[in-house]
């Protein structure tokens, strides 16, 4: 009996040790270290490394050339090793308020900061993040305001032949009343998924803070998966732990636009919405801007507010779909109905800048009114978060 009790004790102790092993991995190095003057120090304990580089969007951008064109890439800075083998780099100047991302390159190997557990995935890239507080960046933080609810919701798509998932934000107080709400449909870019806007875009934090301050109307925000070949985000479907990629079929061939009313119908049937055009908005970034432009034009009685964030404008040369045909006639019908807001935003270094300028020239030539908002920088989440903070307060007024 005693032997049995001892074995049980040892087994229990062993299982407890395995279950608790993560508690021994608490970092002892502060990185990033945000100082009172908003300079930031990055640290890495790698005494045997020959070179350590930090790369991130807090550094001046570097121009890179790819087969798809020239792009601005995150800048780089070298860390210096002290006598204890600890590598350090401190920014030359204070950083402006913003949410920033970064990674390390150690002897040509890209890695995350082991001292910073806060990371986000963008397609197949995982980066650490930190926030410099103040100004607009305070909208990206969790503040002491009433909070909405973020849900992962599955719906049936008969046209796509599968159950699919979306992310839905409901504003603070939704669960306690019988009030009906307007709806913003918010679409991600190529390689993104239904997690992109809630995680990278900080949608819940932005809407919580804007609504609490009275700058935005309480609204439901629906963030669907715009990749019609997927049930949901990579690793969260019946396909298993598949690698994230931008090389997905049917992303911009008209299929998503054609199936989109299924999403609207599901939301209207399952949430307390104000189910009419004047209480619906649609917006998206890059591919999501392309989808928003075409969905709003294909269904001119569905959305009264349209937001194009760094939008792709034209389909591929080989793409043939009724959705992308007879554009002039559809555009005229849409603007004859006088949408309350047609909003276009893009960065002055965005690779889609010229395409957006040409599209605005088309609108100008036809006398179609729109609101234009230009920012510095390129095709990056920094800009898309800004656009959401500018677009949302203009809705449903």
Q: Are 24 and 6 in contact (CB under 8 A)?
A: no
The pLDDT, as a whole number, for residue 20 is: 56
pLDDT digits (tens, 9 = 90+) for 187-219: 999 999 999 999 999 999 999 999 999 999 999
Whether 13 maps to a domain, the answer reads no
- pLDDT (mean) for 104-117: 97
Instruction: Reply yes or no on whether the pLDDT at 12 is more than 70.
Output: no
Give the domain-ending residue among 77, 98, 133: 133
pLDDT digits (tens, 9 = 90+) for 118-170: 999 999 999 999 999 999 999 999 999 999 999 999 999 999 999 999 999 99
The secondary element (H helix, E strand) that includes residue 293 is helix 287-298
Q: How far apart are CA 201 and CA 30, in angstroms?
A: 26
Name every residue whose Cβ is closer than 8 Å to that of residue 158 and which is 6 or more positions away in sequence. Answer: 262
Does 264 lie in the same domain as 151? yes
Does 174 lie in the same domain as 34? no
Does 254 lie in the same domain as 201? yes
Q: Are strands 341-347 and 305-309 parallel, antiparallel or unpaired?
A: parallel
Whether 55 maps to a domain, the answer reads yes
Does 261 lie in the same domain as 173? yes
pLDDT digits (tens, 9 = 90+) for 176-186: 989 999 999 99
Residue-averaged pLDDT of the chain: 93
pLDDT confidence tier of residue 15, bands split at 50, 70 and 90: very low
Q: Are 132 and 98 in contact (CB under 8 A)?
A: yes
The pLDDT, as a whole number, for residue 247 is: 87
The pLDDT, as a whole number, for residue 27 is: 65
How many domains would you assign to the chain? Answer: 2
Whether 213 maps to a domain, the answer reads yes
Distance of CA 272 to the CA centre of its chain: 25
DSSP assignment of 225-269: ---TT-SSSTTSSTT-SPPP-S--TTSSSSHHHHHHHHHHHHHHH
List the domain range (segments joined by +) for residue 49. 23-133
Does 285 lie in the same domain as 154? yes
Does 51 lie in the same domain as 99? yes
Give the domain-ending residue among 133, 164, 187: 133
Does 302 lie in the same domain as 164? yes
pLDDT digits (tens, 9 = 90+) for 37-69: 999 999 999 999 999 999 999 999 887 766 556
Torsion, Cα 269 274 276 279, to 10 degrees, reads -130
Whether 4 maps to a domain, the answer reads no
Q: Are strands 220-224 and 162-170 parallel, antiparallel or unpaired?
A: antiparallel
Apex 233 CA angle, 230 and 235, nearest 5: 105
pLDDT digits (tens, 9 = 90+) for 331-380: 999 999 999 999 999 999 999 999 999 999 999 999 999 999 999 999 99
Does 129 lie in the same domain as 146? no
Half-sphere exposure of 387 (CA within 13 A, CB side): 34
Give the domain-ending residue among 92, 116, 133: 133
Report the CATH number that the domain containing residue 357 is assigned in CATH: 3.40.50.1820
């Amino acid at each position: 009996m005693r032997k049995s009790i001892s074995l049980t004790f040892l087994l229990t102790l062993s299982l407890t040790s395995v279950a608790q092993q993560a508690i021994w991995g608490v970092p002892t190095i502060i990185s990033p270290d945000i100082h009172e003057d908003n300079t930031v120090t990055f640290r890495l304990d790698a005494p045997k490394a020959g070179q350590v580089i930090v790369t991130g969007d807090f550094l001046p951008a570097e121009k890179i050339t790819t087969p798809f064109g020239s792009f601005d890439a995150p800048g780089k800075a070298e860390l210096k090793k002290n006598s204890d083998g600890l590598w350090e780099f401190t920014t030359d100047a204070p950083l402006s308020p913003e949410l920033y991302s970064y990674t390390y390159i150690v002897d040509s190997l890209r890695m995350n900061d082991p001292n910073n557990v806060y990371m986000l995935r963008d397609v197949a890239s995982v980066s650490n993040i930190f926030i410099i507080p103040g100004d607009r960046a305070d909208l990206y933080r969790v503040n002491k305001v009433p909070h909405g609810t973020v849900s992962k919701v599955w719906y049936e798509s008969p046209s796509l032949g599968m159950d699919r998932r979306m992310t839905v934000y409901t504003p603070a107080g939704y669960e306690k009343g019988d009030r009906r709400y307007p709806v913003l449909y918010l679409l991600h870019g190529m390689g993104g998924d239904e997690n992109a806007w809630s995680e990278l875009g900080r949608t819940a934090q932005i809407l919580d803070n804007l609504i609490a301050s009275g700058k935005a109307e309480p609204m439901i925000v629906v963030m669907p998966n715009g990749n019609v070949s997927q049930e949901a985000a990579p690793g969260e479907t019946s396909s298993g732990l598949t690698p994230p990629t931008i090389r997905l079929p049917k992303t911009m061939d008209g299929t998503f636009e054609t199936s989109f009313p299924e999403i609207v119908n599901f939301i209207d049937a399952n949430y307390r919405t104000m189910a009419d055009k004047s209480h619906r908005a649609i917006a998206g970034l890059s591919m999501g801007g392309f989808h928003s432009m075409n969905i709003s034009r294909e269904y001119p009685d569905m959305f009264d507010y349209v937001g194009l964030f760094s939008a792709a404008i034209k389909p591929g040369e080989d793409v043939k779909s009724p959705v992308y045909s007879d554009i002039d006639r559809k555009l005229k019908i849409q603007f004859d109905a006088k949408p309350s807001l047609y909003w276009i935003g893009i960065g002055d270094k965005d690779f889609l800048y010229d395409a957006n300028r040409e599209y605005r020239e088309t609108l100008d030539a036809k006398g179609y009114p729109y609101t234009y908002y230009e920012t510095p920088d390129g095709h990056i989440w920094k800009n898309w978060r800004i656009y959401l903070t500018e677009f949302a307060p203009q809705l449903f007024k």
